[in-house]
Structure 1
């Protein structure tokens, strides 16, 4: 059965990005350390390779926020920015980018086309579902996009890659939720050097945990 999966690297104190995000430091101070599990020396650990494969392989569509797509703010003003990932992004599927400012689609190599959605997360999800062909949909982040998807009831699973890193401040994934929401069931724990991979099933009203 197709699922909608949200996967994010997160610090031990709950931040998915550090403070002072800039074009030169897009994940904020210390934020890059959260991704050491897949870009650092342990990236070829079997558990980390499994988790990366689950995150990326075979997705029918991906949804992300504009902050994840790039550092440009406000009007695009003819910017030639095409994302952080070069001419062949790792998504290999249609990617729907939440933004307040219209932009023509950007088609790149390897099957990735960035589509820009100005009318909210529900619209982005409907478009993603229409092209996914029954395959899984990935919510890639950042934090604002992830929160919108969770609050809209669109997420089936949340995968958190919890690193032994304390950021102290920055952007939290679960800011702004009422106590006890979303209701989560821990269904898997995997371990690799310096990181715990936690998978939660999102339990919706009327479902048994």
Structure 2
């Protein structure tokens, strides 16, 4: 069965953006990331993507996903308001709009087969998937910067306790990626 993977990059003090809402200081050098093969590995292992509506709408043109999105796989968008017009797809990438993370993950798992389901974009859907106990692997990138304030990656988990086991550590440029399996 497909493994559900959620990951984000944060500052050393746990923020995913600064006080102005910008994550620019956390954007890893994509050339360094590509040089490690991590991105190619992620693309090869991904069978479906789950994202939130804000991430979906963050593309200047949703039709551009079919032509240029790195994950050319089925995409499941969690939203209570599907767009009036479905964006362009292709033979590998198409969109399905669902109203809960549970439904999105279940459909994504079916579409992915033995490959991974990757939860992408902002933290909101990631938090929901974590709280629902649906994440199998957590991937955290840590950039060597202290932001002091902003949005904490795990602030909205409240009193949820999730036990993790470290499985992998990879350095790519200035970013350190730590992979954890989620104990269930």
Short-chain TM bin? 0.7 to 0.9
Name the residue aligned to 1:192.
172
Q: Where does structure 2 lack aligned partners over 5 or more consecutive residues?
A: none
Name the residue aligned to 1:25.
none
Tell me how far apart the structure 1 counterparts of residues 47 and 164 of structure 2 sit (CA, whole Å): 24
Q: TM-score, normalised by structure 2?
A: 0.85
More helix by share: 2
Q: 1:90 to 1:160 in 2, by over 3 A?
A: same
Check conservation: 1:105, 1:113, Cα contact below 8 A: no
Name the residue aligned to 2:96.
115
* Aligned Cα root-mean-square deviation (Å): 2.5
Q: Report how many aligned residue pairs link the two structures.
A: 183
Asked whether 1:96 is paired with 2:76, we answer yes
**1:133 Cα deviation from its structure 2 partner:** 2.1
Tell me how far apart the structure 2 counterparts of residues 121 and 197 of structure 1 sit (CA, whole Å): 25
Structure 1 runs of 4+ off > 6 angstroms?
A: none
Q: 1:101 to 1:81 in 2, by over 3 A?
A: farther
**1:84 Cα deviation from its structure 2 partner:** 7.1
Tell me how far apart the structure 1 counterparts of residues 56 and 167 of structure 2 sit (CA, whole Å): 30
Q: TM-score, normalised by structure 1?
A: 0.76
Tell me how far apart the structure 2 counterparts of residues 66 and 166 of structure 1 sit (CA, whole Å): 29
| SS of structure 2 residue aligned to 1:107 | coil
More contact order relative to length (CA 8 Å, sep ≥ 6): 2
Tell me how far apart the structure 2 counterparts of residues 34 and 85 of structure 1 sit (CA, whole Å): 23
Matches within 5 A, 1:34-49: 34-38=26-30, 42-46=32-36
Q: 1:124 to 1:44 in 2, by over 3 A?
A: closer
Q: Where does structure 1 lack aligned partners over 5 or more consecutive residues?
A: 21-27, 73-79, 205-209
